[in-house]
Amino acid sequence: MEPQTPTPPADPDALPPIAQVERKAIALLVLITALVLGFLLYVMVARGVFESTQQLVLVSDDSEGVIVGMDLTFSGFPIGRVRRIELAADGKARIVIDVPRKDARWLKTSSIFTMERGMVGETRLRAFSGILTDPPLPENAERGLLRGDTGAEIPRIVASARAVLENLDNMTRSDSSINTSLTHLQTVTGRLSGPYGVLTGVLGSEDSAKKIIATLDNTNALLRKADQRIFGAKGIMDSTQATVDGSQAAVAQLTQLLTEVRASLQKVDAVLVEAQAVGANARVASADLGALRAEVEMSLRKVSQLVEEVNRKWPFARDTEIKLP
């Protein structure tokens, strides 16, 4: 751009005439004034000067990272702004937050507030309202601030890492358990690759492996002999077979015997039927005996009465009356 070089002479009357120069200058003045005022107004709106707010106090034991003007967010939306941070009499930090009334409906009595401080970036204040049907947060409410601090976790992580490194150091020392185990493993693999292979590895020495092999050979010989004794000619199996044949004849005889026993039992059944019939007759006779006994008793009673009558009427009757002198 070629610069304009105004060269106004000292005498204002000699200035080159420019159309409506005064009007343009006034327009510029008005424009700049309007811009400045508009900018100031915009900044005031942006700072929430014209908003009706309610106050919320968050109490924390550490306000590091919290700055005046930072946002309180709810679901990622800024709903409040830190107005003041002060130290209370009990040594705790009081963070005074202005919440616009139109956004205050998201804060409930059950809301919780957290301060998150990451490795990178600014500290964040967040509000969480789990139960939106709870009553709204009253004005000038005081709430505790829960802190989640990545920076504070670092010493603990470093301590853990140091313990891990020490363990690793212990594990990799020349006299460590792992090294000893590896040495043992090496010994075992050396044995495995020897003439008796796995047996040497498992049993620890070649002598033991030789014994196992000898035992196996003996076992094989024993098995061979046992086979011969059991399944060979005149072996145990042959005599067993003869015994089985004899047993079959005994079973046949037993079957016959059982048949006879069944016939005897049928006869016993018939006898029992007879006995039942005798029992029934005896029961009828018992009933008749009762009636007979009643009649005998009645006859005896009549005889007794008759004897008493005879005694009374008879002249040899005893005088039962006692006469006083």
Partner 1 sequence: MPPTSFLHLDTGAWGRSILRVATSWWFMVHFGAVVLVMALSPSTYNKAHRATTAQYIYTSTWQVLPWFTAMAALLSLVLIRVVVVTALSYGLSQYALQMVVRVLVLELIPLSAAMFVALRAGLAFNAGATDLAPPAGTAPAPLSLKRLRRELVPRVLASAFAVLALAMISSMIALVLVYLTVYGLSPWGLPGYTRTVGQVFDLAVTLGFILKTVFFSLAVAVVPMAASLETPRQPVNLDTVQPGAVRLFLVLLLIEAASLAIKYI
List interacting residues with partner 1 (CB under 8 A).
1, 3-10, 12-13, 15, 18, 21-22, 24-26, 28-29, 31-32, 35-36, 39-40, 42-43, 45-48, 68-71, 78, 121
Closer CB to partner 1, residue 32 or residue 178? 32
Closer CB to partner 1, residue 124 or residue 210? 124
Shortest CB 40 distance to partner 1, Å: 8
Closer CB to partner 1, residue 44 or residue 294? 44
> Alpha carbon of 56 to those of 100, 113, 139: distances in Å?
11, 11, 7
Closer CB to partner 1, residue 63 or residue 200? 63
Shortest CB 97 distance to partner 1, Å: 14
Distance in angstroms (rounded) separating the CA atoms of residues 2 and 9: 21
Q: What is the DSSP letter of 13?
A: G
Map residue 14 onto helix, strand or coil.
helix
Report the candidate in 155, 53, 141, 153 with the shortest Cα–Cα distance to residue 104.
Answer: 53
Closer CB to partner 1, residue 102 or residue 173? 102
> Alpha carbon of 168 to those of 93, 165, 186: distances in Å?
43, 5, 21
Shortest CB 127 distance to partner 1, Å: 16
Shortest CB 105 distance to partner 1, Å: 17
Helices (H), the chain: 21-46, 150-172, 177-192, 198-203, 206-231, 236-313
Shortest CB 64 distance to partner 1, Å: 19
